[in-house]
Amino acid sequence: MKYGNPAFVTIFGAQCVGLPAREGLLDLPADAFALLDVVLAQGRPFSRWLRLGDVEWRMTAVPRIDPGTHEVYGVAFHLRSRSDLPVLATRSGEE
């Protein structure tokens, strides 16, 4: 089963779930693909902030690793809008 989180589906549509990123996510900036390439090449998770239109998104990417061979065969990623993140409360009088 393929899954796209609500932020992903809102921005790219359900039809993009399961497609290769470069085919379905045409609105992603080049920085996003650079992040995916680094994760694929290094086999380590990374994340960064991206701007899509007027909204900032946190993109977190993790390698998909074959449990038998330990080879990286792909990348999974998650998008989350900055506005979705919880706001940290500050002590009275502090900003």
Q: What count of other Cβ atoms lies within 10 Å of the Cβ of residue 59?
A: 20
Share above pLDDT 70 across residues of the chain, in percent, rounded to a whole number: 86
C-alpha of 67 from chain center: 22
Which residue range forms the structural domain that includes residue 50? 6-83
Pick the residue with more confidence: 86 or 9? 9
The pLDDT value given to residue 38:
97
Give the count of domains, the chain.
1
User: Which CATH number does the domain housing residue 11 bear?
Assistant: 3.30.450.20
Tell me if 41 sits within 8 A of 33, measured CB to CB.
no
Length of the chain as a residue count: 95
Q: Which residues pair with 62 in a beta bridge?
A: 76
Average pLDDT over residues 40-47: 97
Residue 1 lies in a domain: no
Write down the pTM of the prediction.
0.73
Residue 59 lies in a domain: yes
The pLDDT value given to residue 49:
94
Q: What is the pLDDT of residues 15-36, one digit of tens each?
A: 888 888 888 888 889 999 999 9
